[in-house]
Structure 1
């Protein structure tokens, strides 16, 4: 037999406990054929890795690729550190547009500006009267200027009560331009859906970027509905992107609950919520597969709308809120689960986490397990006894440790010392034997896995304070989170996560071993090459010469 590829002289961290380290990999048909084989296996291509560290491809189990890709096409506010920076960026973007064009900007974070919000009138000046739509990095709020508010008000009532959302007003009763949570639907009704071609382009840009960071698999946490979707036909854009060769990594998109509808059929079938023809989670293949249903229960810690059991510090009578009635939340979640949709419930505050645990455990006890593990997304504050129940029920909690690196000081101020110790658990999950995956919530936060791994280990805020020191984990555990942990969280341990015979040949070449360097240097590790299915899809200029490497992969 002639294998496709033989990789020699490598420092391989396989993540397979049966063979944790290796020097040689044999790849055939897009999968690992052998690890340190006892016999010589001839191959069409032999690559000397020159001592580079090789690890399984990174798997981000909570990201937003279309949102991220669109942001690469919009005015960027992620580096803004003052309102003047915001106005300058809006002005620069407006200068390139026609008088009636919209100025759309992404990545704005009020926490990085001490909570300051743009003034709608100053935005009018900066944009030259053009309508402005600023998307906040949290994904749970946006800001409009006067011109944009006028366009919204022409077709919708800004004074109407919005369930699970707020049109923020100043002391004079005038809308400030800030729309929170479900109030964002006001602007989305005007601006969406995006053309499928635009969504495909966003996916192309996003997934090409992922390769430069060693990411080979991504779960997109919410498409095709709600305030987070971009088109009711959004999954079709993923399929088209794959057909056209624009999808560079493996994808598991979650459909938002709003995209499901009541199912008809025989009375014995149980009804429930789903897609026409009974299509449900799990449909697809190793490149593109429908994931769980994404359900929003509460809001954002960054926006003080996450549902807590106690008030936010300095915000008397505000402990956040659920985005829908608790009874309706339970009923709809169970209806989707009954029809074959595992639950991925967004729950940040401990009160929301309580609802999520209750609903998921009821679903599992009533209907059994579905095709993928049930999940709680984020877990900004989780009580110890809640962690116990999460582990006991086999629920996957999906934290984002890089929030600490970017927003930790602001989060700690809102939570206070006691709740900060319970925030974004990692070590606590592992101590209980629960699954710990790697995730970023990109573009809410930086999604580069090696940076997130450093955040797992250090848990340092921007000011250098340690945020919940008891929740720090080792570099080895952080690497496991982004590989075997993420595979377990997405129900794909039989396909990926380790470099073991029979599994997919998704792997990353690194310039150093991130598990042996000082924690402060983990993020400095460089991705030199990324391979998906045995094919080198990204090569850094410093990557050793690879046989038959296409020029455009460098």
Structure 2
């Protein structure tokens, strides 16, 4: 770890401060600190804040998106444009990999529909929700779906694969020869540029090769951020250095909502080894099932709701009573708000990605990107929570707006306590800091992780 002295910075309302970081930890904060031969970062009067934590991201999917074809709006708006996009160059594994598909482009996709658009090479397209992949016939054959025994492989009445594969990213990757986890170097660089010093990877049911790849990326320096994993299987061992293990990710998928008894058993299994749960919930039905089960079996500290895309007002009191945190993504309002206005029932509009009403009810709220499925830039997410503007400029859920400082704080909780007290720039804290401009919105001028400048 490097020693670093940040000079002439502001921390909150205190100005002209110096910050000394030694062995990765803040050791002094004061004025005119003595130089001791360490590296110097001149802040020129700008603001230093704790590094941001993206509390829900998918690192490897984000990296893979860089070599994928965009198959959804606004880049692709109809079937003709989708067919043209799929003519792009395949990846090193020989497949055309598409992302971001939405039904407004060409309706409900399956292998037959996709064959009409592109049949000469294996194709796999991911729905923009991240919940489903669709393969054409060449892809079904190459991935051996006909012989597969996996619950995520959808079949028709005759037992023939439809080409749809639900919530099986790691498994599907393993079915494709040569499709190894992608490099995280560019992702790490971009996160540093945005002031993100820690991330929580929310990919469920991570395969050993996926966790090993993240460990290797941290060890090599391809990714400088601290990494917290939700998808480590129950009982799996992890190395003593590298990523930390967080709550156990459970997906309450709308494509197949869980049996209450099975869900209760799964949560109790996690709780029995002291591991909280992080429950994916994007619909009213999924949330009510989750709250019903947790109300019956109880919660432990650290249990949390991922997304909370739809939270009815009448559920907020119960979320608070159960002691649950909500890790949400108001960036989706700015990214997809017009689609929500068109496709989500009007009665549910006020329930989308709540912020203010949860905070007013003392529910801990943390922000995240859900990248690559949502916008990665935390500053755009903060702005979206302040304005609630859709791409067309319509205010969606105006009663849920919050101010800048409250929104920033939603990125400053520790990975282990999303929505908890914001980390502070103080002696004894980790030397994970961001230098931002005095403008609004601010620009990231420098990012420091463990006392080492990474941007």
Name the TM-score, length of structure 2 as normaliser: 0.87
* Equivalent runs, 1:534-545 vs 2, <5 Å: 534-538=451-455
CA offsets per residue over residues 61-102 of structure 1, 9 Å max, x none? 1000011112223334463334333322321214x87xx922
Q: Give the equivalent residue in structure 1 for 2:213.
A: 237
Structure 1 residue 484: deviation in Å? 3.0
Q: Give the equivalent residue in structure 2 for 1:109.
A: 101
Is 2:414 the counterpart of 1:469?
no
CA offsets per residue over residues 215-265 of structure 1, 9 Å max, x none? 110000025x3xxx4x33322222222222323110001125xx33xxxxx
* Residues 337, 363 of structure 1: 8 Å contact kept: no
Q: Structure 2 unaligned runs (5+)? A: none
1:148 aligns with one of 131, 136, 139: 139
* Residues 8, 16 of structure 2: 8 Å contact kept: no
Q: Structure 1 unaligned runs (5+)? A: 14-18, 261-273, 300-304, 306-320, 539-554
2:54 aligns with one of 53, 56, 60: 60
Q: Distance in 1 between matches of 2:187 and 2:327?
A: 21
SS across alignment from 2:88: helix
CA offsets per residue over residues 412-443 of structure 1, 9 Å max, x none? 33332221101111111211122111201111
Q: Distance in 2 between matches of 1:385 and 1:70?
A: 39
Q: Give the equivalent residue in structure 2 for 1:502.
A: 428
* Equivalent runs, 1:331-410 vs 2, <5 Å: 331-364=265-298, 368-369=300-301, 373-410=302-339
Q: How many residues align?
A: 451
Structure 1 residue 21: deviation in Å? 6.8
Structure 1 residue 29: deviation in Å? 1.8
Q: Distance in 1 between matches of 2:252 and 2:120?
A: 37
CA offsets per residue over residues 343-395 of structure 1, 9 Å max, x none? 00111112211222233455546xx54xxx11111111112232112123221
CA offsets per residue over residues 194-216 of structure 1, 9 Å max, x none? 77xx42x4333322221121111
Highest relative contact order (Cα 8 Å, sep 6+), 1 or 2? 2
SS across alignment from 1:222: coil
From the superposition, tell whether residues 347 and 8 of structure 1 become closer, same or farther in structure 2 (CA, over 3 Å). same
Name the TM-score, length of structure 1 as normaliser: 0.72
From the superposition, tell whether residues 47 and 110 of structure 1 become closer, same or farther in structure 2 (CA, over 3 Å). same
Is 2:180 the counterpart of 1:246?
no
* Equivalent runs, 1:181-330 vs 2, <5 Å: 181-182=166-167, 187=172, 190-191=175-176, 198-199=180-181, 201-223=182-204, 225=205, 229=206, 231-255=207-231, 259-260=233-234, 274-275=235-236, 279=237, 284=240, 288-299=243-254, 305=255, 321-322=256-257, 324-330=258-264
SS across alignment from 1:484: coil
RMSD value over aligned CA atoms?
3.4
Q: Distance in 2 between matches of 1:501 and 1:188?
A: 45
1:139 aligns with one of 95, 109, 130: 130
* Residues 16, 45 of structure 2: 8 Å contact kept: no
* Residues 435, 485 of structure 1: 8 Å contact kept: no
Is 2:87 the counterpart of 1:91?
yes
Structure 1 residue 533: deviation in Å? 0.9
* Residues 511, 527 of structure 1: 8 Å contact kept: yes
Is 2:340 the counterpart of 1:411?
yes
* Residues 152, 186 of structure 1: 8 Å contact kept: no
Q: Distance in 2 between matches of 1:66 and 1:348?
A: 22
Q: Distance in 2 between matches of 1:46 and 1:399?
A: 37
CA offsets per residue over residues 25-52 of structure 1, 9 Å max, x none? 2222212223335x74444233321233
From the superposition, tell whether residues 168 and 243 of structure 1 become closer, same or farther in structure 2 (CA, over 3 Å). same
